Amino acid sequence: MASVACIGECMVELRQAQSGASAGQGGGLYSRGFGGDTLNTAVYLARLEVKVDYLTALGDDALSDEMIAAWTAENVGTRRVARLAGKLPGLYMIQTDAKGERQFFHWRDSAAARQLMSLPETDELLNSLMSYDVVYLSAITLSIYDAAGRDRLFAAIKRARLLGTRFVFDTNFRARGWPNRDVAREVFAAAFATADIVLTSTEDLLALYPGESHDQLMARIPTPELVFRLAEPVSLLRFPGGASEVRAEPMTNPVVDTTAAGDSFAAAYIAARLAGSDPVEAAQAGHRLASVVICYAGAIIPGYAMPPKKRHRPAASRQGTK
């Protein structure tokens, strides 16, 4: 069975449950949950029957215990989660104004996940990457480590690729996570040069390279397999031997919340590729799942809302899918 290592951070989420005058006066109600881009992808991969482990660091507190329990309930593997004494997960709060626009506030500078690349068990964790078919992480993942930590992670991924592991990089860019855009561009270039598959979007790349055309942005990414999502529900694909444009099917239900649209797309794309689908079929699967996810509030939709499983061709061997 194909396996995926998702690397990243899950945080405690405080979501505004009551807006308006009371919230503006300092009141308001908040619901507590958990959130993280790569964790969302891991959950959807597990629901698509892909064996997946989540690699991160948590504290030894009750909230971290709740996270572990929730991931286990979703069949996301937790054997690679480091637990750090005295540490806590990061936290973020979402406020929504009267027009539905969201604003995020983060408290994560001392979060346990930021230490994942500098622990006594880090070498063992990084060596384990060789045992997976795919290593998946995002730019948000890379933003929480320092330069030495990123170098250590890239070196481990390169070693794993020599044994057939594929590296999938998602450009999920959040400017607040980087000291400046020059650092982000340098790290992105290193990830592009290492990746086997890049999942990106105009939203991410135009924030780093403003004013460039689609062709110019795609030319910055040398990876053999590229999925470039446009502002409209269209993906431009480039892969060995071809290129294609994939359009999402027309929506029949209203859009409620676009949270995790890209995360779920990534999960469906990776799952389809591991199951033997070509990039066009995989992008179609990505659009199908994302089109369902955005019709529900929150990042993780109810299990019953998952679209019917599509039969794929039998998966090739690990060597054959490289």
Composition of the chain by helix, strand, coil, percent to 5: 40, 25, 35
- Quick one: DSSP state of residue 285? H
CA gap 44, 268 in Å, rounded: 7
Encoding tokens for residue 161? 């690729």
Active site residue 146: no
User: What b/e string do you get for 236-259 counting C-beta neighbours within 10 Å, with b at 16 or more?
Assistant: bbbbeeeeeebebeeeeeeeebeb
Number of C-beta neighbours around residue 171 at 10 A:
25
Active-site residue (options: 133, 170, 196, 263): 263
Q: Can you give the three-state secondary structure of 175-230, one letter per residue?
A: HHHCCCHHHHHHHHHHHHHHCCEEEEEHHHHHHHCCCCCHHHHHHCCCCCEEEEEC
The set of residues, in sequence order, having a beta carbon less than 8 Å from that of 231 and lying 6+ positions away, is 202, 203
- Closest by CA to 77, choosing from 50, 114, 59, is 50
CA gap 67, 233 in Å, rounded: 32
The alpha helices in the chain, defined as continuous H runs, are 21-24, 37-47, 62-73, 122-127, 139-143, 147-162, 181-194, 202-208, 214-219, 261-274, 279-293
Q: Which residues are catalytic?
A: 263
